[in-house]
Amino acid sequence: MRRKVYVDGAGVRVPFTEVVLSGDHAPVRLYDTSGPGSDPAEGLPELRKPWRRGRTQLAAARAGIVTPEMEFAAIREGVDVEVVRSEIAAGRAVLPANVNHPESEPMVIGSRFLVKVNANIGTSAVTSSVAEEVEKLTWATRWGADTVMDLSTGPRIHQTREAIVRNSPVPIGTVPIYQALEKVKGDPLKLTWELFRQTVIEQAEQGVDYMTIHAGVLLEYVPLAAERVTGIVSRGGSIMAAWCLAEHRENFLYTHFRELCEIFREYDITFSLGDGLRPGSIADANDEAQFAELRTLGELTHIAWEYDVQVMVEGPGHVPMHKIKENVDRQVELCGGAPFYTLGPLATDIAPAYDHITSAIGAAMIGWFGTAMLCYVTPKEHLGLPDKDDVKAGMIAYKIAAHAADLAKGHPGAQEWDDALSRARFDFRWEDQFELALDPETARSYHDQTLPADAAKTAHFCSMCGPKFCSMKISHELREAGMKAKSSEFVDAGGRVYLPVTGA
Amino acid sequence: MRRKVYVDGAGVRVPFTEVVLSGDHAPVRLYDTSGPGSDPAEGLPELRKPWRRGRTQLAAARAGIVTPEMEFAAIREGVDVEVVRSEIAAGRAVLPANVNHPESEPMVIGSRFLVKVNANIGTSAVTSSVAEEVEKLTWATRWGADTVMDLSTGPRIHQTREAIVRNSPVPIGTVPIYQALEKVKGDPLKLTWELFRQTVIEQAEQGVDYMTIHAGVLLEYVPLAAERVTGIVSRGGSIMAAWCLAEHRENFLYTHFRELCEIFREYDITFSLGDGLRPGSIADANDEAQFAELRTLGELTHIAWEYDVQVMVEGPGHVPMHKIKENVDRQVELCGGAPFYTLGPLATDIAPAYDHITSAIGAAMIGWFGTAMLCYVTPKEHLGLPDKDDVKAGMIAYKIAAHAADLAKGHPGAQEWDDALSRARFDFRWEDQFELALDPETARSYHDQTLPADAAKTAHFCSMCGPKFCSMKISHELREAGMKAKSSEFVDAGGRVYLPVTGA
Ligand code: SF4
Ligand code: SF4
């Protein structure tokens, strides 16, 4: 059985999922992103309302102040709050929390903490509705999304975002250039700084917690992408490149970056510096276009920090395994340790319809190497807008990748979950095993496909090996035999141990 | 469109899948394991019948002789046959080909070659039938299985295997201890060397190409597994441990190993030295039990080589990412470079029902580090016997892992597939992209869920970003603008490039 429990801290009450196990096995507590649950028409309660304040989390952290948000996040992470404060102060972690999104439950993103997963949702001009997107939001957080990006394009962007922010217990990210482009009916040449600025303020007022800003796509970098196999594959990147080239002027997001910092500081919005020139194929990985932009993102990171504005830096894309580590190493160096936030990367291009898997491989590795948040990829990547099933498939693949990374990083406590599940497995506590699984329903249903009877839930085998070949059953008999051997009572004169292995 | 084509070599004719692309784009040739297709009642034609000979592939390779099997495998791999011969001669590669399995199409397994994937099939006492298992065999090779293991337990083991071998275009592996245990009605204490020997000969006569032999589970190692979280999780390992402990004698597979070598030499069967003490949980990874057995497997490898018998060595299991590399490094050192053949490894225990994904992460990494063949894991792992859908899900996840490893190893030619697909993607040649996909049908159906019309197959967008936000479409416009700029004709007096970006 799973239930929600709360841990009280200084002025905060932090939810966890508790997996209650059978017998006297200690319950296991899991990080919980699902929030208190909402009626879409009402929105969520305003948890952070009493906490709102004038300065940013980064300014507070630098001043040595522990905010309730930091306290909340520290309890979730199971670390001392001083670790949270000092990592934020150093710029190595962010706590995205727009003052106008009081519904969100605070969380922290940084390489010292649990690896996080972002889920992209949002309408496109071709498909979906506001109600569907709110449902995807709830679905994504139910499967563990730590943040959600609303990437809506097409009509009703404002309304969709409003519904999402009001119902989201996790930080919401957006890419404001999408809405700006809608406002000029899709013509990049009509984009202006002023229009963009108004759009950012509109979204800031709604409570967006972090925004992707493609300020690193400089005019001089655009030709570097010209000979690529897949050109520019970031939507925002391609829009800004089109604008720069057509205007033959520097990217207005770059030239007005300090003004953006001032707006972001006002709302405590976190930058997610977009990698507009990320590689979209194995052939383009780690090329000059990509790393030129990364140098600029490093420069912008340091500027944002001058304004007490928090920063994450986005990363690729499509990268073969042997080129993954270089991405992290360069990002850490150029961006002063600001949290890296990567899309996958996909370790091969050959499997459209399975890019949640091609990218879970890259995501697990890059998470181990130090990426703080992984942007999920769904099976529909490259093929269409993800539906609810795709959201779940992407989330599960990425929770696996993130947890595998936590294990490899030796994150304290991460292995407890694995150990609890493996002990349940070895003890044939089938219901405990299912409840501890990332996806209890599916684990249970797979087991029940061949052995649906209640009795099978305590059986010392399953249909994979069958009763005579269940290695874990034989292992138990060995263990018993070993214990009896120790007590000597089942050892005959010749020193042989009689093993109570059952025949057919 | 995909079609089968053949490449002729010295006395051999090697099949490939050719993906025919639109326009004048060069076709792409893919490695093809599906075989000529068979009527289950008839079995496959006996391709290798005219080639049969008295000595093993290893003996021939050591004598400097190039066999037709080596020639065939070299063409499949796209390498010089001398590489194949010399790698086999050095023990760093195996070419599993029982003289009694003339239906098989030769292939080579070794770290210098493409990373291979094995699919496990087979009945259990609880479920499945002979016909279902032959269907799974055909299904597995259709999705790219390089070898198939028949792990049948329960009734009709002999008949199931006969049907599988006669219909298999790929090498077949078995674990003979399973059938031996069935013969003694599931009581490990009744197992004898003589019974085991007869079982091996029975299977050798049928044409099994490689056999898993758990000869490294020594009596003294059994206590090392006693305190583990998940004990002994290899079926063969637990059976032999039970026998050793009950008899208080050394494993008869170890004491009679040289006799096994003589039998294997007669049929040219390849050893797959089983890792009976592999870890079954993250907690047990890389422990003393596991590495003690590996040392013995190294000793046995060198003994088999004395008899001109080919050897692979099996590996884990459940291993967190940061402990994967040590497995390969130790195996290479202890086993003299004999091909490593690993099950996954699963990078975390927390996701039963998704262990094709948890293990694809470990498999891709261990393949990159040098594992020659990956044993797939299906979504049913730990929960039940895989059905046909599970076989496909496991195969796809593992073809992704194997190809990702080929890319990371810089295998010549591997990236051509990615590049061809990415070029098709960037050109909006949707049908070409689907045909080049690992699973064309699923890629096509995902695309068509939102845009089923024929016109969408040439559209410069899909439903993911929609027409105005398709970054690849904008990229094309940028490229055109760039070319026009070069020819100066669209640049005005102020040096501005007019970009033909379309409005809504
Ligand atoms: S039968 Fe096999 S898969 Fe099932 S519980 Fe036993 S060892 Fe695990
Ligand atoms: S709309 Fe987006 S996903 Fe679809 S083809 Fe264009 S860039 Fe690719």
What is the per-residue pLDDT across A232-252, written as a single tens digit (0 to 9) for each?
999 999 999 999 999 999 999
Question: What mean pLDDT is predicted for residues A152-173?
Answer: 94
CA pair distance A470, A72, nearest whole angstrom: 45
B149 annotated ligand binder: yes
Residue keyed to tokens 């225990």: B349
- 3-state SS, residue A102: coil
Average pLDDT, chain B: 93
Question: What are the tokens at B434?
Answer: 């689907």
List C-alpha distances in Å: A26 to A21, A430, B200: 7, 16, 47
| All residues at 6 or more sequence positions from B92 whose CB lies less than 8 Å from its CB, including other chains | B110, B111, B112, B337, B338, B339
On the 0-12 / 13-18 / 19+ scale of CB atoms within 10 A, A7 is middle
**Owner of token pair 């597994």:** B225
Is there a binding annotation on residue B214? Answer: yes
Contacts 24+ apart (CB under 8 A), A42-49: A43/A103, A43/A166, A43/A167, A44/A103, A44/A166, A44/A167, A44/A168, A44/A169, A45/A103, A46/A102, A46/A103, A47/A102, A47/A103, A47/A104, A47/A105, A48/A97, A48/A101, A48/A102, A48/A103, A48/A104, A48/A106, A49/A102
Q: Is A281 in the pocket of ligand 2 (CB under 6 A)?
A: no
> Which residue's CA lies nearest to atom 5 of ligand 2?
B461
A155 Cα to chain B: minimum distance (Å): 12
Question: Between B358, B400, B415, which is nearest A354 by CB?
Answer: B400
- Tokens 């076989």 correspond to B391
Residue B281 Cα to ligand 1 middle (Å)? 13
Grade residue B504 by pLDDT with cuts at 50, 70 and 90. Answer: very low
Which is more confidently placed, A39 or B28?
A: B28
| ipTM at complex level | 0.95
Smallest CA-to-CA distance from B38 within B103, B99, B132, B133 is with B103
Q: Which residue of B has its CA nearest to A356?
A: B357
Which residues are registered as beta bridge partners of B313? B273, B340
- Pick the closest to residue A167 from A297, A318, A42 (CA basis): A42
- Confirm if A365 and B414 have CB atoms less than 8 A apart: no
B472 close to ligand 2 (CB < 6 Angstrom):
yes
Residue B499, pLDDT above cutoff 60? no
Cα–Cα distance between A459 and A336 in angstroms, integer? Answer: 54
A133-155 average pLDDT score? 94
Mean pLDDT for the stretch of residues A5-10: 95
CB-CB neighbors (< 8 A) of B179 in chain A: none
Q: What is the DSSP string of B235-287?
A: HHHHHHHHHHHHHTS--HHHHTHHHHHHHHHHHTPEEEE--TT--SSGGGTT-
Mean pLDDT of all residues in B448-467 = 89
pLDDT mean over B78-103:
97
Average pLDDT over residues A321-348: 98
Residue B493 has pLDDT above 60, yes or no: no
Q: Which of A421, A458, A464 to mutate to test the pocket of ligand 1 (most atoms within 8 A of CB)?
A: A464
B129 lines ligand 2 (CB under 6 A): no
For the residues B372-382, what does the mean pLDDT come to? 97
Place of tokens 């993103």: A109
The DSSP call for residue B23 is: T
Model pLDDT for residues A367-422, shown as the tens digit of each residue:
999 999 999 999 999 999 999 999 999 999 999 999 999 999 999 899 999 999 99
Nearest to B476 by CA among A280, A125, A353: A280
From residue A101, how far is each of A93, A130, A204, B461 by CA, in Å?
19, 19, 9, 34
**B323 — pLDDT class (breaks 50, 70, 90):** very high
Annotated binding site of A: 120, 149, 178, 214, 234-236, 275-278, 314, 318, 341, 382, 462, 465, 470
Q: What is the pLDDT of residue B491?
A: 44
Say if the Cβ atoms of A186 and B468 lie within 8 Å.
yes
pLDDT band, residue A53 (cuts 50/70/90): confident
Per-residue DSSP letter, A117: E
Nearest to A404 by CA among B325, B362, B398, B381: B362
CB B400 to CB A351 under 8 A?
yes
pLDDT at B229 over 80: yes
| Cα(A350)–Cα(B425) distance, integer angstroms | 11
Give residue A493's pLDDT. 47
What is the pLDDT averaged over residues B78-83?
A: 97
User: Starting at the edge strand that comes first in sequence, how are the strands of the sheet with A12-19 ordered?
Assistant: A2-9, A12-19, A28-31
Of A387, A119, A132, A124, the residue nearest B461 (C-alpha): A124
pLDDT at B484: 63
Contact (Cβ atoms closer than 8 angstroms) between residue A288 and residue A248: no
Query: Which residue in B126, B446, B501 is closest to A187 by CB distance?
Result: B501
A-chain residue closest to B498, CA distance: A246
pLDDT for position B501: 43
Between the alpha carbon of residue B42 and those of residues B38, B47, B151, B165, the distances in Å are 7, 14, 23, 12
Residue A117's DSSP bridge partners are A374
Residue A504 pLDDT grade (very low, low, confident, very high; cuts 50, 70, 90): very low
Answer yes or no: do A404 and B280 touch at CB < 8 A: no
- What would the pLDDT profile of A77-124 be if each residue is shown by its tens digit? 999 999 999 999 999 999 999 999 999 999 999 999 999 999 999 987
**Selection from B102, B111, B277 nearest residue B206 by Cα:** B102
The answer to whether the CB of A343 falls within 8 A of the CB of A375 is: yes
| Cβ-proximal residues to B502 (8 Å cutoff; 6+ apart), any chain | A186, A187, B477
Q: Is B468 in the pocket of ligand 2 (CB under 6 A)?
A: no
Instruction: Identify residue A178 by its one-letter amino acid code.
Output: Y
- Among B437, B495, B503, the residue with its CB nearest the CB of A351 is B437
Sheet holding B28-31, edge to edge: B2-9, B12-19, B28-31
Higher model confidence: residue B327 or residue A130? B327
Rounded-to-integer distance, Cα B117 and Cα B405, Å: 12
Nearest protein Cα to ligand 2, atom 3: A382
> Which one of A156, A318, A499, A502 makes the best mutation probe of the B interface by having the most chain B beta carbons within 10 Å?
A499
Task: Give residues with Cβ within 8 angstroms of B359, minimum separation 6.
Answer: B343, B344, B345, B346, B347, B376, B377, B381, B397
**CB atoms B478 and A238 under 8 Å:** yes
Residues of A in contact with B442 (CB under 8 A): 353-354
- pTM listed for this prediction: 0.96
How far, in Å, are A95, A214, A335, B375 from residue A271 at the CA level?
A: 11, 10, 13, 43
Helix (H, G, I), strand (E, B) or coil at B212: strand
From CA B44, how far away is CA B168, in angstroms rounded? 7
Q: Which of B422, B426, B469 sits opposite A178 (nearest CB)?
A: B469
Query: In a mutagenesis test of the A interface, which of B349, B368, B411, B434 is the best target, namely the one with the most A β-carbons within 10 Å?
Result: B349
Q: What is the DSSP letter of B104?
A: P
- Taken as a whole, chain B contains a residue count of 504
pLDDT at B308: 98
Contacts of B226 (CB under 8 A, 6+ apart): A478, A479, A482
Question: Tokens representing A341?
Answer: 């936030």
- pLDDT, tens digit, for every residue of A11-32? 999 999 999 999 999 999 999 9
Please give the DSSP secondary-structure letter assigned to residue A176.
H
* B248-269 confidence digits (pLDDT tens): 999 999 999 999 999 999 999 9
Closest residue on chain A to B462 (Cα): A384
Among A12-26, A268-282, B470-484, the range scoring the smallest mean pLDDT is: B470-484
Distance CA B296, CA B303 (A): 11
The reply to whether omega before A216 is within 30° of 0 (cis) is: no
- Predicted confidence at residue B488, as pLDDT, reads 43
What pLDDT, on the 0 to 100 scale, is given for residue A502? Answer: 40
Q: Is the pLDDT of residue A500 over 80?
A: no
Per-residue pLDDT tens digits for B308-319 = 999 999 999 999
The answer to whether the CB of A464 falls within 8 A of the CB of B380 is: yes
Identify all chain B residues contacting A470, using CB atoms and an 8 Å cutoff: 235
Confidence of residue A503 (pLDDT cuts 50, 70, 90): very low
For ligand 2, the distance from its centroid to the CA atom of residue A177, given in whole angstroms, is 17
Mean pLDDT, range A141-166, rounded to an integer = 94
State the pLDDT at residue B154.
80
As a whole number of angstroms, the distance between CA A368 and CA A342 comes to 12
Report strand pairing: A2-9 vs A12-19.
antiparallel
- For residue A172, pLDDT beyond 80: yes
Residue among A421, A450, A461 to mutate when testing ligand 1 (max atoms within 8 A of CB): A461
